[in-house]
Structure formats: C-alpha cells, structure tokens
Structure 1
C-alpha cells in the first residue's frame, strides 16, 4: 500500500487589517524643550510644514487648551477631524480626538524633558501616538504607510525647528522608548 502526503496552503486575499495602531519613540535632539514645544504646539501652522496636512484651523483657544480641526490626506482621499489639544509649556502637548467621525480614538502625546546637562539647547522628546480608525479602509491604508508616515511626521517637526531656530546644537539620536 502506497501512502501519499498532501500539503494544504491557505491564501488570504482579503486580510482584515489591525484596527489599532501604536507608535512610541524617544529622541535626543539639538533644540531646547521650549523650542520643540513651540513647534509642536503651533497647530495653526501644521498645514505649512506637516506632510499630508492640508488644513489646520483653531476652533477655540484657552490658556492651556485648544480645539483644532485638521484635514489630512492626499486627493482623492481627504478626511478631517477635531482634537482637543492640552498644552503645558514647555513639557507637554497632547491631542485627543473625540469627534468620532474618522477615529474610534486618537491620542498623540509629545513630552519634552531636558537633554544633556552640558547642552541647554538639547532636549529629549518622547513621542507617542495611538489610534483606531472607524473604517477598515482607513485601517488598511494606515497599515501600509504607518511607519513611513510617523517617521515623516517626526522629521517634519525637527525640520520646522531647524527652519525657525537654525542649526541644531547636536545631531538627533534615537533612544530606547519608554511609555508613560
């Protein structure tokens, strides 16, 4: 009697994307806490330097909080959302989206702490973003471009700091991230 072995392969043509995304990074940069805080807190000007941001409008402003509407995307896919942004100069900028149209949730946190003791024009940036799109379509797009997009976003803020404040006092260095 002859025995045959069969192998079975499964192909997934329509893989369901992971709906939740999270990114944590830590960097030592050659700009002060206050300089980096001012760049990140300047939501009104995001449309001028942040990739894929086509509009950035301040809807309400209070001393420690703003409500902002951002339009993101590239034609024909353009979406907008509203976030509440908490400001704590020069240590923290946190944006939370609660409007529920595009995201189930979106939280972006930037923490700024002193860098090298020998260099007051340096700081450590802890960057954290966590979100979940409402639609599988947007989740699939995010899955395809997520890493590239967050790196472009980080780079855009550093480049804007260079444009505003000149050459950095030291090159940026990746550090081991910590989630707080």
Structure 2
C-alpha cells in the first residue's frame, strides 16, 4: 500500500482552500492529470463524484464519497474504480488572519499489478503535488 502525507502553509483562508477542493467540477481546468469530473450527488454532509485520470494514453476513472466538514476537513472514501483500497483526508486549519495550514493524507493500492505498474508511481506523484496545484489555483482565483 502506498501512502502520501503532505502539508503546507498557504496565504489563503481555510474556507477558501476548502472551497477549491470541494469544487470537483473545476478540476479539469487546473489539474493536468484530470481529464474529466462528474458530480453524482451532493448535500450538506457528503459529496459523491468521479474523476477521470490519464497517464501514457490510458484513462482510468474512480469514484469517491467524501464526508464534508466545511472549512475544516474532507474525508475521502472509495466507491469504485481501479483501486483495491483508496482512503484519505484533507484538513484545513485557519492560522489567524495570515492564512491556513492545508494537509492531505492518502493511502491507496491498485487492484492489480499491471494497473499499479502503469499508474502507481504516477498517482503517488499526483497526490504529492495536489497541495501545490490547489495553492496555484487559489492564487489564480483569489489573487
């Protein structure tokens, strides 16, 4: 099983960063690996969505159900896709008026060795770069 744990201090509020992570329909606009996103359902407590990712001309789609704590946290749970296991958590901690701390913890295992050989390292690197990608998106949106 692969695990990723990243955090960063950013000059944006916890609510601003949370809003970007929650807005899955915009992911293809700024995440180069994300070629599509579909929102299946959303209410005040959960959001269920699918993301399509592409590497070396091969596309894979996975679906998650995420538990929502606006401005605080978002839990990630696998519904379906090429994983035997996928779970994670975003955390957003306000640090006074100067910004916030954003953290991401992910663990995943692909369903078979072929998929892991094709996507494992790529998906791990993608997870490692997510906070940077969302920080760049925040700069583009919020200035």
TM-score normalised to structure 1 length: 0.73
Tell me the number of residue pairs that the alignment of Structure 1 and Structure 2 aligns: 143
**Structure 1 counterpart of 2:126:** 149
Q: 1:70 and 1:148 mapped to 2: Cα distance?
A: 16
Q: 1:149 and 1:63 mapped to 2: Cα distance?
A: 28
* Match status 1:132 vs 2:112: no
Q: 1:38 and 1:47 mapped to 2: Cα distance?
A: 16
Query: Does the CA contact (< 8 Å) of 1:53 and 1:70 recur in 2?
Result: yes
Query: Does the CA contact (< 8 Å) of 2:33 and 2:54 recur in 1?
Result: yes
* Match status 1:49 vs 2:30: yes
Instruction: Please show how residues 12-161 of structure 1 align to structure 2 within 5 Å.
Output: 20-74=1-55, 76-99=57-80, 101-115=81-95, 117=96, 120-146=97-123, 148-161=125-138
* Match status 1:163 vs 2:131: no
Q: RMSD of the TM alignment (CA)?
A: 1.7
Q: Rg: which structure is higher?
A: 1
Give the deviation of 1:108 after TM superposition: 2.6
Q: Which runs of 5+ in 2 are unaligned?
A: none
Query: Does the CA contact (< 8 Å) of 2:110 and 2:120 recur in 1?
Result: no
Give the deviation of 1:104 after TM superposition: 0.9
* Residues 57-102 of structure 1: per-residue CA shift (max 9 Å, x gap): 1011112211101111135210101110111111012221122x41
Q: 2:14 and 2:131 mapped to 1: Cα distance?
A: 15
Q: 1:148 and 1:131 mapped to 2: Cα distance?
A: 12
Q: Which runs of 5+ in 1 are unaligned?
A: 1-19, 167-180
In proportion to residue count, which structure has more strand? 2
